[in-house]
A and B are shown apart, each in its own frame.
Chain A
Amino acid sequence: MKFGIQVNEGPFTHQASDSAYLFVKAAIEKGHQVMRVFFYYDGVNNANKLSAPQSDDRNLVKLWGALATEHNVDLVVCVAAALRRGIVEENLAEGFRISGLGQLTEVGMAADRLVVFGD
């Protein structure tokens, strides 16, 4: 099955990012294709490379980035939402790219299912 994923919340404050990450990881392990993960609203904060969680806790920004580098998952941060929240090229974490809302509509059209993780 081909999945599109939407992440509506930032790291740590809500579980949405964790749930989405674990879902994507499990889907890939089961042989499904994750076409794109689209980060919207506060979800764009998952792409902030300045995030420095406690060292004995998971680092969501790095975990997401690893999905991109190891499994070629397309991680897209919405430019409009990102600008509002101060996510720009200079602080964009590895593995993410900034693009437009059209990328969300496009993956909704192309995937078998769009799964939304929010609050």
Chain B
Amino acid sequence: MSDTEIEYDTEGVVKKFMYVNRKAPYGTIYALEVLEAVLISAAFEQHACIVFIDDGVYQIRKGQDTAAINMKNFSKTYGIIAMEKEDADEDEDMDMVWRIIVEKESIEARGLSADDFIVEVEVIASADLAEIMAEQEVVISG
């Protein structure tokens, strides 16, 4: 790390973060690098909605095999998000709400259903998702 770290006082701050995933994995790096950002955010115990829209829904599709394209198959890492969510749900002392959401119209357009994903998801229609998005305080998009 270079120079002096500039730190801000965020003691006691809990905000609603949303991470929007719109792109398919492997074709571009956005899927992997948003995932890395989500995992780091767990340490800060913020609320998070991890949302998959458009081709982003393919990021959590079951049965990924990347041998032929010579890229690291990182789909298992989404399991860590599911675990973080479970820990947060079970821990009464932890006020951290995580949701994993796929947009209903996106999966229908692609012939997918909630059973096609490696993690448990909430299927939410676009209009309702827009309302959830409007409640968020920080929206990060890949």
Q: Which residues of A contact B (CB under 8 A)?
A: 6, 8, 35-36, 40-41, 74, 79-81, 89, 92, 97-110, 114, 116, 118
Contacts and interface: CB of A to CB of B under 8 A. Distances in A.
B138 A118 contact: no
A41 B37 contact: no
- With a 10 A CB-CB cut-off, give which of B36, B40, B43 has the most chain A CB atoms: B40
A104 B30 CA distance: 16
A40 B139 contact: no
Interface of B: 1-3, 5-10, 13, 15, 17, 29-30, 33, 36-37, 40-41, 43-44, 46, 138-142
Given A92-B2, A102-B40, A104-B37, A110 B30 contact: no
Contacts of B1: 79, 97-100
A102 B8 contact: no
B46 A35 contact: no
Contacts of A74: 6
Nearest to A102: B40
Contact of B33 (A35, A41, A98): A41
A104 B44 CA distance: 11
B139 A110 contact: no
Contact of B29 (A36, A41, A101): A41
- With a 10 A CB-CB cut-off, give which of B1, B17, B37 has the most chain A CB atoms: B37
A79 B142 CA distance: 17
Contacts of B15: 108-109
A101 B10 CA distance: 16
Nearest to A4: B138
Contacts of B138: 108-109, 114
A110 B140 contact: no
B2 A6 contact: no
A107 B33 CA distance: 18
B40 A106 contact: no
- With a 10 A CB-CB cut-off, give which of B8, B10, B41 has the most chain A CB atoms: B8
A98 B5 CA distance: 9
Given A108-B140, A118-B141, A100 B40 contact: yes
A11 to B, nearest CB: 18
Given A41-B33, A104-B37, A118-B141, A97 B3 contact: yes
